[in-house]
A and B are shown apart, each in its own frame.
Chain A
Amino acid sequence: MKRYATPLRFLVLIGLFVGLEILCRTKVIDPFTMQPPTLIVRDLWNLLAAGKLNKAIAKTLSNAAIGFALAVSVGITAALVIHRVRILREALDPLFATYYAIPVLAFYPLLIIIFGLGNIPKIMIAFMLGVIAVIVNTLNGLDRVPRVMLKTARIVRMSPVETAFRVTLPYAAPYVLTGVKFAVAYSLIGIIGSEFVMSTEGMGFEISFAYTNFDNATMYPLILLILIVSISINLLVGLWEKRLLARRGLR
Chain B
Amino acid sequence: MAKRIAVDKARPGQILAEEITRQDGVLLAGRASEITEGLIRMLGRMNIDTVVIEEAERRTREDILGEWQAELERIGRAFRRAADSPELGALRKTLIFLSEQERDKALASLELSEPAEGGEGAAAAGEGAAARAAGAGATPGPGQTSGGGAGSAADPRPDARGKPGARRPKAAGKDR
- Report whether chain A binds chain B: no
